[in-house]
Structure 1
């Protein structure tokens, strides 16, 4: 019987069978295992399909690894490039989960991290040490949407002989392809836009060159980070609509940002699609397809926890949730979630105040979103 499925089946198996010792030996000695599979911690057809598709979208010749969460991808990237005694540089404007992983966990393993204001990080020679191995930066910072000059930072990293890892979770390959700037790796929390439906936890990191891609896969296997088959299948399903979703997310978000910028209850809107955003020109020149993404943050005039909580309790279409980038809109509270583990004085310096709300704009009818925001803000 010939079976030709249009969609890759789910290989929900932990192991694959061999018919002889010769087949087993061929698996371990042939280049790329000669298309065979052995143990899903190392590789699985569904996981390979996900990595290959993200690598194709990113132009990543080296391939990479899919992991059980977004932070698993960061762990794989750090473990693939750093060892005890090494040093990492990051902008101060960085997702709180990344800060906690680097500061609380990697330091215990002898890998140190310094945080520099993004505007100063481009002068990389001031900050690198002989042990600096990696620079991590976000295309659009979480949560205030500071726009990275990716080509400029990549050039500085090349000059200093340091690898650049870009977190593209807010933008996806539809808006940015950091390897084309000269980054060594691009990392996604695939839980966000790649999966897109708030029903999967996953991370993907892919590399520009084959040696680094091989090391990522090796680390994923050795540390047990590799994503399971079902989650890989779900994420691949999400990728099939990524281009369509990113266009609608971006179109809706621009309308929402313009509405909020004119609302009397809103003190400031952080969205690079607005002409008033300090990074607008850079974003317009650097982001692809004329899109600015679906993420923004809003600071209320009532810059208090009470003001923010009133919004969360009134809204019907932006429920309070700790993640982002699903087809359904949501809101988040950086002070109490993503940056909860960041010291208070540093949060204050970064502008993460009690009245700051992060919005993930979905693909619903935009008129419904605007009406809900208006009533939630008391308008």
Structure 2
């Protein structure tokens, strides 16, 4: 009986069988011809990596067990003990924690670059500097990096540009086309999109870096499991539709909140008064994503009351699912920054991050109006 499934089956197996030594030699002699052990590669994890690689226009990719694993793989693909990296000061708190607490133990040092100085790196570059890590749209204040300009500045100094493209997704921005060397994602977020997968992907612009990413994935055991890979691929198939709806809803929410007397500030690139609105328009093909932050009164009880009253935006410290949610950067993603760093970045008691889902917009607006009443 001939079986040709339309959808790739879940290869829920840790090992693959060989008939004889000839097939074993084929595995080592012809890379990619067959599978041996799921840490080394599995049809499902390869399918996810190849799908995101195609979306990003890369030369190769690796699917990992989380977004943090993708960041780790990207940095190790470019660095070794004794090297120095630059990191945008506006960055996900987990990224800075990885650099500060773990990679520092491996002898990789870091210097943080304020957003306003990203395009003039001369004062930050050291002889052993290897890369700059930045985000397309920063977490949590939604600042937009000019990736073409940033890539030009990095390459002028001989640095690799590694871009966390999670907030934008490849539907909005493709960093490799703008000169980045590695684009990475927490697949947990928009690519999977349904809050039921933990995964990551790192995509390289050149084959040598792509091979290094895959080697790191295998040797460090970062490879994503078959089931998670299958779920992520299923979610990826609706990414374009979801990003359009996320963006549509988020713009309506941002415009509503910008006029509300209880909201002191709205951080969303789709608003005309956002400092990088035109850049976001050009770099994002007219879509601005579903993420925003709002500034309420700097009073914990005001924030608590807002959280308690909202029914459509449950407090869940992640983002980008089809269902809306909210998060609290000061207490979750950026909890381990020093008070001075938090203050310098504008992460205060009243800052709340919203992940706007794809529910009917009238329901979201009514819920926010009630929560702010």
| TM-score, normalised with respect to structure 2 | 0.99
RMSD: 0.7
Contiguous gaps of at least 5 residues in structure 1? none
CA distance in 2, matches of 1:304, 1:74: 34
Q: CA deviation at 1:187?
A: 0.4
Q: Secondary structure at the match of 2:97?
A: helix
Q: Secondary structure at the match of 1:115?
A: strand
Q: Secondary structure at the match of 1:374?
A: helix
Aligned residue in 2 for 1:16:
16
Residue deviations 1:221-256 (CA, integer Å, cap 9, x gap) = 000001000000010001100000000000000000
Q: CA deviation at 1:280?
A: 0.7
2:88 paired residue among 82, 86, 91: 91
Aligned residue in 1 for 2:293:
297
Aligned residue in 2 for 1:279:
276
Residue deviations 1:342-376 (CA, integer Å, cap 9, x gap) = 11111011100001000000000000000000000
Q: Secondary structure at the match of 1:124?
A: coil
Residue deviations 1:37-69 (CA, integer Å, cap 9, x gap) = 0000010000010000000000002x1211101
**Greater Cα offset, 312-321 or 276-285:** 276-285
The aligned runs of 1:157-196 (5 Å cut-off) are 157-196=154-193
Q: Moved runs in structure 1, 4+ residues, more than 2 A?
A: none
CA distance in 1, matches of 2:362, 2:19: 60
Residue deviations 1:175-217 (CA, integer Å, cap 9, x gap) = 0000011111000000000000000000000101111000000
Mapped contact 1:329–1:360 kept (Cα < 8 A): yes
Mapped contact 1:121–1:127 kept (Cα < 8 A): no
CA distance in 2, matches of 1:56, 1:109: 33
- Is 1:309 aligned to residue 307 of structure 2? no
CA distance in 2, matches of 1:87, 1:118: 19
Q: CA deviation at 1:318?
A: 0.1
CA distance in 2, matches of 1:304, 1:16: 57
Q: Secondary structure at the match of 1:108?
A: coil
CA distance in 1, matches of 2:118, 2:252: 33
Aligned residue in 2 for 1:263:
260
CA distance in 2, matches of 1:119, 1:189: 26
Aligned residue in 2 for 1:221:
218
Aligned residue in 1 for 2:339:
344
The aligned runs of 1:46-85 (5 Å cut-off) are 46-61=44-59, 63-85=60-82
CA distance in 2, matches of 1:159, 1:275: 32
Aligned residue in 2 for 1:110:
107
Aligned residue in 2 for 1:363:
358
CA distance in 2, matches of 1:207, 1:263: 43
| TM-score, normalised with respect to structure 1 | 0.97
- Is 1:119 aligned to residue 116 of structure 2? yes
Contiguous gaps of at least 5 residues in structure 2? none
Q: CA deviation at 1:279?
A: 1.1
Q: Secondary structure at the match of 1:285?
A: helix
User: How many residue pairs are counted as aligned between the two chains?
Assistant: 373
Aligned residue in 2 for 1:136:
133
Q: CA deviation at 1:126?
A: 2.1
Q: CA deviation at 1:125?
A: 2.1
Aligned residue in 1 for 2:200:
203
Q: CA deviation at 1:159?
A: 1.0
CA distance in 1, matches of 2:198, 2:188: 5
- Is 1:322 aligned to residue 317 of structure 2? yes
CA distance in 2, matches of 1:3, 1:327: 34
Q: Secondary structure at the match of 1:51?
A: helix
